[in-house]
Structure 1
Amino acid sequence: MSITFYYAPQSNAGRIRVSLAELDVPYEAVRLDLRAGDQKKPDFLAINPNGKVPTLVIDGTPMFESAAIQIALGERYGVQKGLWPAPGTPEQLTALTWLVWGQVSLTGALFRYMANTSEYFAKEMHNEKQAEQALAEIHGLLRILDSRLEGRPYVIGERCTLVDLDLASVLGWGLMAAKIDFSEQKNLKGWLGRIGERPSIKAAMAET
């Protein structure tokens, strides 16, 4: 078994780094300098034609798109370690649902809000109405997640899984970068606090 992990600090690859640390599987890390254009070099494009991170090569097979990578890691390494539900169980269906929800619905709304408000995007690209709509959507999604956490410590149940780690990676960056107040969501706040104490999350957030 061999894993090569292509990443860049402060990027979407952070969530995969967290999962690899939690799973405690050996891998080779290859750091790309995105500003220097490492992701556009022919050798890397041969692995991931999108020219993006994260990218994983498992036993010679390249993978991209973080949702697909998380599922593969969960199914291959996470079941035994209690970080992913067993195949064919209701919990597995729930895990797949919330993982994709976080990377599509939640991340999509956060990105739309950032694109219309953040200094990382040119002001002429900002649209106040679109920002308002995205912010309203984000708050609605946060309420959904807060409701899911009512009466349970983690998204799937009693144990932390890759779903929690992935969602917390999204929110840990997104809520801070977008300066979104989520103080009304008490369940969400407590859950983020628990996840944030894990060494893998602390290391990923601190990486520069």
Structure 2
Amino acid sequence: MSLTFYYAPMSTASITEAVLAELGTPCDRVKLDISAGDTRKPDFLKINPNGRIPAIVHEGTPIWESSAITMYLGEVFGVDAKLYPAPGPKRGEAMKWIAWSNVTLAEAASRLSASLPTNSEGAVQSNSQDWVPTEQRSAIALEKAKADIALCLRILDGGLEGKSFLIGDYSLADTHLQGIVGWIGTMEVDLMPFPNVTGWLKRCGERPAIAKLMAG
């Protein structure tokens, strides 16, 4: 098996890192520096023409977009590990949350991150594709991003009502989503009005693989 993981510290690649840790899947790791422009260099653009991380290359095939990576790794390695559902309704439920977390929740979080002062916790790194020059930022955009995130958190809070984890037992859907919610928690967002979310996030953080990453 040949699996290479392209990542940068303090980035959305932490989601894929957590998924790989939960699965215990060995891989070669290639560290990139976003601020130094590593993700825009020709060698990396051959792997991901979007110039973004995370990306993996499995058996010679590049796969990018963190949600696609999570679902792919779940299908290949997660079913036997009891961390990803077999094909069927439960698989669809897991895919629903993974896709929503990137398409809806992370989109709003990215807008908030881009509105924060550079070098503040949770902010977009300079030279990132998502970086916005200071003179183009607005307080209105920041407040809109916060409002959209709050709406998403209400949806997630409702989805967790009466559950320990998203689809019942812990799965890579939780691994994926907790990475995004954890990132949101480092920014100017109060998670306390969403008790189901905060309880779930605490349980996710108690997973041995996740706790080890957080301690590192």
Taking structure 1 as the reference length, the TM-score comes to: 0.91
In structure 2, the CA distance between the partners of 1:43 and 1:124, relative to structure 1 (3 Å rule), is closer
- Checking the alignment, whether the CA contact within 8 Å between 2:6 and 2:53 is kept in structure 1 is yes
- Matched to 1:160, the amino acid is Y
Matched residue, 1:151: 162
In structure 2, the CA distance between the partners of 1:45 and 1:206, relative to structure 1 (3 Å rule), is farther
Matched residue, 1:119: 117
Q: Aligned to 2:145, what secondary structure does the other structure show?
A: helix
Aligned-pair CA distance for 1:122: 4.2
- Matched to 2:19, the amino acid is S
What is the rounded CA distance, in whole Å, between the counterparts of 2:144 and 2:32 in structure 1? Answer: 35
Matched residue, 1:171: 181
* Fraction of identical pairs, as percent: 45
Structure 2 runs not aligned, ≥5 long: 119-131
CA RMSD, aligned part only? 1.6
- Checking the alignment, whether the CA contact within 8 Å between 1:4 and 1:58 is kept in structure 2 is yes
Spell out, residue by residue over 1:38-68, the C-alpha distance to the aligned partner (whole angstroms, 9 max, x if none).
Answer: 2233222222222221110101111111111
Q: Which moved more, 1:166-175 or 1:27-36?
A: 27-36
What is the rounded CA distance, in whole Å, between the counterparts of 2:117 and 2:183 in structure 1? Answer: 16
Matched residue, 2:143: 132
- Checking the alignment, whether the CA contact within 8 Å between 2:22 and 2:210 is kept in structure 1 is no
1:141 aligns with 2:152: yes
Q: Aligned to 1:48, what secondary structure does the other structure show?
A: coil
Aligned-pair CA distance for 1:171: 1.0
Aligned-pair CA distance for 1:193: 0.4
- Matched to 1:128, the amino acid is A
What is the rounded CA distance, in whole Å, between the counterparts of 2:36 and 2:157 in structure 1? Answer: 40
1:160 aligns with 2:170: yes
Matched residue, 1:75: 75
Q: Aligned to 2:62, what secondary structure does the other structure show?
A: strand
Spell out, residue by residue over 1:174-193, the C-alpha distance to the aligned partner (whole angstroms, 9 max, x if none).
Answer: 221x2211212111111000
What is the rounded CA distance, in whole Å, between the counterparts of 2:82 and 2:110 in structure 1? Answer: 31
Q: How many residues align?
A: 203
Q: Which moved more, 1:141-150 or 1:119-128?
A: 119-128
Taking structure 2 as the reference length, the TM-score comes to: 0.88
- Matched to 1:96, the amino acid is M
Structure 1 runs not aligned, ≥5 long: none
